[in-house]
Structure 1
Amino acid sequence: MLLIQNIRLSRILRNTWQVDLIMIASCTAAYFVRAYLIAHHFEIPTIIPTVLGTAIAFFIGFNNNQAYDRWWEARKIWGALVNDSRSFARNLINYVDQDDETVKRMIHRHIAFLYALKANLRGAVDEIYIKYLSEEDLREIEKHNNAHNAILNIQSRDLQKLSKSNAIDGFRFIEINEMLTRFSDSMGMSERIKNTIFPTTYTYLTKVFIWLFVVTFTLVISQSAGIASIFLGWLIGFVFVSTQINGMSLVNPFENNSAGVPLNQITRTIEINLLQMLEEDEIPEPIKPINEEYIL
């Protein structure tokens, strides 16, 4: 997630340089076609780039709005996980009687759940969660394709044992079990965002329209601007392309990049909070920003 208010131009150019080269080549070709093939035959009507520009504005606006909605929903889901995780640990610590070992094991297991979920959402091989699980838990989880879902299943089983041993009353059992349900809901919503592909037709048509606009705009403006139309065509195209690319960088909010939801920071924050609530000595350091520019 970006932390700064102003995005460096170099970062934008790094994301768009390939498209910029294509646009410059297209503008150059359009200029020479206009100058040597069609200049003495007819003029390109200005209504063509005008209509295309309007269509592009609608497409880019729709794409960016939908992309931001996906990103914001993902951020709200993980914000809820922060709050629910703290409440889950607080309830276990204060409401469970005479079974501190199970409480500690369940809180550690919840940290493992968060790290396993984060690794799955990012498609990464991140086994940091292993250190918070017992050998018995690891053997059971290995039988499942979905590690974080298996962890929740073990949590429910331990909660049932606490209830049977009268370590918690029925009301507290229901309250803590509802939290496990909310963890499952957050897990499912995160997986839905990750597995739902943004319609490729929208991004494809936007790219095609931008290319057509750049070409037709260069053809029209070259009638009065001459060779400078190559630069002007690229400049107008650059505005559309940079807006579209930066907006679409939010489509996959769980990707490990500067525009994604800072899962590393969120999981580490929860980890620190829960370990401090257990009064443990070995507390990891918070995740630090990269170049004071963004955090992962």
Structure 2
Amino acid sequence: MIVRPRMHWLRMLFVWRGSVVSRILPRLGFFLALSLLAVALGPLPFALREGSLALLGVALAIFLGFRNSTAYDRFWEARKLWGSLMIVSRSFLRQALTHPSPALSTEEKREVTDLLRALPMTLNHQLRGTRIPLESLPPGVRECVVAADHRPAKVILALGQWVTKQRHQGRVSELLVASFDDNLDRLSEVQGGCERIAGTPIPYVYSVMLHRTVYIYSLLLPFALAGSLGWSTPLVSVFVSYTFIALDTVTSELEDPFGNEPNDLPLDALTRTIERGVLEMVGEPLPPLLQPDDKFLLT
């Protein structure tokens, strides 16, 4: 995710790092050259009327806006799910630290804390399709997830077994077990919701249709404007192309919020925040917060 301090409106007009301009600049250069060629060639044997392209541009803007809204809904739902993961993890640990009687020993606190730290770690790597280094997991968790294909589910199962052990020892009542179980269900819902977003992209045919329309429109636009705008055509044509192509590019990033694109969710930073939250509750040393790099990118 791009994280930048607030800037003056004038400076934001020329911002480079954190925008998609660097990614689409070669394409804009192509359309600039095409616009210059359209003006230099003069009137063509066939006529492209501005009015017809204007209607197409309005329709294209509406469809792009709809796709962008759909992609942002996926992005925001993913962020809310990770917010719920943070809340439920802290709630589960609070119950574990305050309700059992007699109170948990240091080793027992470490056991439940390690499981709650491991859950966002394993979910992060599962959603991004990467292999989590086992040495990054707490030692007590490695054995229970080393052979698992769905490691977050295995961690949630281990949390459930921890609750069952406390009940068998008579340290929590049936009412408290139900409360623990409710939090476990919420953790499973978070995992399932994230997997649904990651495994169900926006229909490919819809994305292809809009992508083709954007580029065909950008190809035809200079030839429709050249007759009336003359040498102003490159400026107007490239600006309109930039608007549509940039929106198409950003939407492609947002529709997969768990990826590694600049505008995707910073799962590493969210994982570290959850880890710090549970460690602070048990009085353990905290790892440092992750900070954006020199390109303002927070992973």
Matches within 5 A, 1:1-296: 1-4=1-4, 5=6, 8-9=15-16, 11-28=19-36, 30-31=38-39, 35=42, 37-38=44-45, 43-98=47-102, 99-100=104-105, 101-127=107-133, 130-134=136-140, 137-280=141-284, 282-291=285-294, 293-296=296-299
Cα pair distance change 1:130/1:151, threshold 3 Å: farther
Q: 1:57: how far off?
A: 0.6
Distance 2:185 2:252 in 1: 32
Specify the code of the residue in structure 2 equivalent to 1:266: L
Paired positions, count: 289
Q: 1:94: how far off?
A: 0.7
TM-score (norm 2): 0.87
Moved over 4 A (4+): 28-32
TM-score (norm 1): 0.88
SS of match in other structure, 1:285:
coil
SS of match in other structure, 2:254:
coil
The two structures, once aligned, show a CA RMSD in angstroms of 2.3
SS of match in other structure, 1:226:
helix
Distance 1:163 1:59 in 2: 55
Distance 2:109 2:145 in 1: 20
Specify the code of the residue in structure 2 equivalent to 1:110: L
Do the aligned partners of 2:3 and 2:297 also contact (CA within 8 Å) in 1?
Answer: yes
SS of match in other structure, 1:249:
helix
Choose 182-191 or 193-202, whichever is displaced more. 193-202
Distance 1:55 1:131 in 2: 50
Q: 1:73: how far off?
A: 0.2
Distance 1:200 1:258 in 2: 21
Q: 1:36: how far off?
A: 6.5
Distance 2:137 2:224 in 1: 65
Cα pair distance change 1:141/1:237, threshold 3 Å: same
Q: 1:227: how far off?
A: 4.3
Cα pair distance change 1:66/1:108, threshold 3 Å: same
Cα pair distance change 1:29/1:202, threshold 3 Å: farther
Point out where structure 1 has 5 or more consecutive residues left out of the alignment: none
Q: 1:118: how far off?
A: 0.8
Which string of whole-angstrom CA distances, capped at 9 and with x for unpartnered residues, describes residues 19-67 of structure 1? 22342354355446x62641xxx53222221121012111210111001
Q: 1:109: how far off?
A: 1.1
